[in-house]
Amino acid sequence: MRKHSIKNTRINNEVQRELSNILRGGVKDPRVAEMTTVVAVEVASDLKTCKAYVSVLGDLKVQEDTIAGLQSAEGFIRRELARNLNMRNTPTVQFVLDQSIAYGVNMSKKIDEVIKDS
């Protein structure tokens, strides 16, 4: 399966939607922040692994705790994925902290400051 095929895109979207639902209602680890969103998911072409890019609202300590909590709950999350998705192989999930939203907000503030000073 090619990386940008329609099937791979559809699988990525389904896994992202299910991961969002699981994080919203299923993970009971107190380290996982409530304002955690799944930004993107990349499932490998063999459907055995996937990278989930997660954005966390909070400081660096909250972000690190959330990633640690998600990694410790990976077994539960994978089991819930297997239950909710009809796939032959349930991928193991690797959580990666995504800083793109914070970066965008920071750049927007800097642009506003430059415009205000001009």
User: How do residues 21-51 score in pLDDT, each as one tens digit?
Assistant: 998 887 888 888 888 889 999 999 888 999 9
Predicted TM-score (pTM) of the model is 0.81
Is the pLDDT at 3 greater than 80, yes or no? no
What is the rounded average pLDDT for all residues in the chain? 88
Which regions of 6-82 does DSSP assign to beta strands (E)? 36-43, 49-56
Query: Mean pLDDT across the stretch 62-83?
Result: 92
At 100, list the tokens.
């793109």
pLDDT reported for residue 89: 85
Euclidean distance between CA atoms 113 and 108, whole angstroms = 9
pLDDT reported for residue 76: 92
